[in-house]
Structure 1
Amino acid sequence: MKNSNLIGLKEADCKKIAEKLNVLLANYSIFYQNTRGAHWNIKGNDFFTLHLKFEELYDGLVLKIDEIAERILTLGYTPHHNFSDYQKLSAIQESKEVNDGNKCVLNILDSFKTVIELQRELLEITEAAGDEGTNAQMSGYITEQEKLIWMYNAYLGK
């Protein structure tokens, strides 16, 4: 029996949601790697502050990557796992600037903007499909990320 039948969702809805979740997974995966690069390579007066903040951020991102992949599996589909797939699907690009703290924070803010937009699109799709599981997951992510945006903007003095 298909997972969609077991969790009470239509197969076509599960497919559409899983495809969008794979796009989100790709964006999170590149966001994660960019944040790891910033953590490893940050230099300057704010090294001690940003080094720790970037580590906190990538620890949270890797958990979300796992949760998104598991949600795709719950819906009965296969999460992408190749970085080449991520590069094709992701709006977030690999960061070349990983030494300058302000540029790294700006990149993080842009990445949050991208994933929040995707998560809001998923909210619309999952609400229409009656997919409370994915909807609650995305809603929780957005709430957390909006606060982080405020904090990173405060760091920049905005």
Structure 2
Amino acid sequence: MTDTNSIGLHEASASQLAERLNVLLANYQIFYMNVRGYHWNVKGHDFFQLHTKFEEFYTDLLMKVDEVAERILTLGHRPVHAYSDYFRIASIEEDKDVHDGEACVRGVLRGYQQLIELQREILSLASDADDEGTAAQVGDYIREQEKTVWMLNAYLG
């Protein structure tokens, strides 16, 4: 009997990675809904610019939700899929009734910062487990999101 899964990773490592990826998935789902809310509810003189930008962000986040869930499945585990589970394990919280443009941008910035922090943890775990697939995936996310954080900070001045 072997202690590796179907893609050759040690099962204990794959299990630990799947657990952290489920936490990442939960955070992505809640952040996605926050950004969707900013898109719907933003008001102010930058409405047109922000409304379009928030749509770009939530479209990308939705794609990443699917990719993270599929990576969990690739590791041989199940992605969580109930909002009650998301609220229980996520660190990103719901951001309700936000409509001021600057407050919305600050909410997006906080969300990306929290994702980056969690993804760095997962990157370290994946590297330790020789899981190039997960490492490459979250590494790409980190690179993209660090640039977004820089741009959001530039927008805020």
Deviates more, 1:62-71 or 1:147-156: 147-156
**1:15 Cα deviation after fit:** 0.3
Asked if structure 2 preserves the Cα contact closer than 8 Å seen for 1:123 and 1:135, the reply is yes
Give the partner amino acid of 2:74: T
Segments of 5+ residues of structure 2 without an aligned counterpart are: none
Asked if structure 1 preserves the Cα contact closer than 8 Å seen for 2:119 and 2:142, the reply is yes
Which residue does 2:95 correspond to in 1? 95
Which residue does 1:27 correspond to in 2? 27
Matches within 5 A, 1:84-123: 84-123=84-123
In structure 2, what is the Cα distance between the partners aligned to 1:89 and 1:102?
Answer: 28
Task: Give the aligned length.
Answer: 156
Which residue does 2:155 correspond to in 1? 155
Give the partner amino acid of 1:13: S
In structure 2, what is the Cα distance between the partners aligned to 1:113 and 1:139?
Answer: 14
Report runs of 4+ in structure 1 exceeding 4 Å deviation: none
Which residue does 2:68 correspond to in 1? 68
Asked if structure 2 preserves the Cα contact closer than 8 Å seen for 1:42 and 1:99, the reply is yes
Asked if structure 1 preserves the Cα contact closer than 8 Å seen for 2:50 and 2:101, the reply is yes
Which residue does 1:133 correspond to in 2? 133
Q: Does 1:5 align with 2:23?
A: no
- TM-score under structure 2 normalisation? 0.96
Superimposed CA distance per residue, residues 30-65 of structure 1 (whole angstroms, 9 cap, x where no aligned partner): 000000000001111000000000000000000000
Report the secondary structure of 1:117's partner residue. Answer: helix
Segments of 5+ residues of structure 1 without an aligned counterpart are: none
Asked if structure 2 preserves the Cα contact closer than 8 Å seen for 1:39 and 1:55, the reply is yes
Asked if structure 2 preserves the Cα contact closer than 8 Å seen for 1:97 and 1:104, the reply is no
Superimposed CA distance per residue, residues 114-148 of structure 1 (whole angstroms, 9 cap, x where no aligned partner): 11011000011000100000000000000000110
- TM-score under structure 1 normalisation? 0.96
Asked if structure 2 preserves the Cα contact closer than 8 Å seen for 1:97 and 1:103, the reply is no
- What RMSD over aligned residues (CA atoms) do the two structures have, in Å? 1.3
In structure 1, what is the Cα distance between the partners aligned to 2:101 and 2:38?
Answer: 8
